[in-house]
């Protein structure tokens, strides 16, 4: 199994944060969080398997079918050959329009890629989603102010963080339990 997805990563940590202040401290520098109205961000494509993390691809602009096919050609196929050689494998992707268009389906058929059926608007059971969250936390342990720094940090953490590599294997091995929980919940929310 190879699980894939795209994620957007920003220069500044963009998660909501609660700040508690005493009366009169509203504008003290120590009580303020830096924000940027339009933070620099990048979209990245990646994949994971029981073998680890794949090569990454920084997406140029918005993803479209042609760009997605180029990613599949340039990143996915070479990675899968490295991981599995001639063994059979199954590819998971979500149901984004750029993933399910006629050109992409034709490319999969021509290249013998077996795609796991994945319902639209489904509970997100893709383990790479959890890995993206961990990746973002790791990236933002250091202050990053420029796009180039963000890309360098992203690559360093994705490939060299022991935590990312360990969590990748844990998340992949959790899939039988995740699927069992999803079936027991009849497709409703689970604790995963």
Question: In CATH, what number is assigned to the domain containing residue 60?
Answer: 3.30.420.10
Please report the pLDDT score of residue 23 as a whole number: 82
Mean pLDDT in residue range 82-91: 95
| Between 76 and 24, the higher pLDDT residue | 76
Within-domain flag for 160: yes
**In whole angstroms, how large is the CA radius of gyration of the chain?**
19
Flag whether 128 is in a domain: yes
Query: Residue 108 domain-assigned?
Result: yes
Residue-wise pLDDT for 27-81, tens only, equals 777 776 666 565 688 999 999 999 999 999 999 888 999 999 999 999 999 999 9
Predicted confidence (pLDDT) at residue 191 exceeds the cutoff of 80: no
Residue 29 domain-assigned (yes or no): no
CA distance 115 to 90: 6
* Number of domains the chain contains: 1
- Which residues span the domain enclosing 92? 2-13+38-184
pLDDT (tens digit per residue) in 87-130: 999 999 998 999 999 999 999 999 999 999 887 766 568 899 99
Q: Which two tokens stand for residue 107?
A: 């490319």
Inside any domain, residue 143:
yes
- Is 78 contained in some domain? yes
Query: Where does the pLDDT of residue 151 fall: very low under 50, low under 70, confident under 90, or very high at 90 and above?
Result: very high
pTM, 2 dp: 0.83
- Confirm whether 115 is domain-assigned: yes
Cα 6 to Cα 71, 86, 123: the distances in Å are 11, 26, 17
Distance CA 133, CA 170 (A): 14
pLDDT of residue 32: 66
Q: Are 43 and 68 within 8 A, CB to CB?
A: no
Mean pLDDT of 83-88: 95
Q: Is residue 103 part of a domain?
A: yes
pLDDT score recorded for residue 111: 95
Both tokens of 103, joined, read: 């050109």
Q: What is the pLDDT of residue 167?
A: 96
């Amino acid at each position: 199994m190879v699980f894939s997805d795209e994620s957007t990563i920003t220069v500044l940590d963009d998660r909501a944060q609660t700040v508690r202040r005493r009366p009169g401290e509203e504008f003290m520098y120590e009580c303020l969080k830096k924000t940027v109205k339009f933070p620099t961000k990048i979209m990245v494509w990646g994949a994971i398997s029981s073998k680890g993390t794949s090569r990454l691809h920084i997406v140029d602009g918005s993803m479209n079918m042609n760009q997605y096919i180029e990613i599949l050609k340039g990143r996915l196929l070479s990675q899968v050959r490295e991981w599995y050689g001639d063994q059979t494998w199954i590819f998971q992707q979500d149901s984004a329009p750029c993933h399910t268009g006629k050109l992409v389906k034709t490319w999969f058929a021509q290249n013998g890629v077996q795609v796991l059926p994945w319902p639209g608007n489904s509970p997100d059971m893709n383990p790479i989603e959890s890995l993206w969250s961990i990746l973002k936390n790791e990236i933002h342990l250091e202050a990053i102010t420029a796009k180039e720094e963000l890309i360098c940090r992203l690559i360093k953490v994705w490939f060299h963080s022991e935590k990312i590599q360990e969590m990748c294997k844990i998340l992949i091995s959790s899939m039988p339990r995740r699927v069992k929980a999803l079936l027991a919940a009849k497709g409703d929310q689970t604790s995963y």
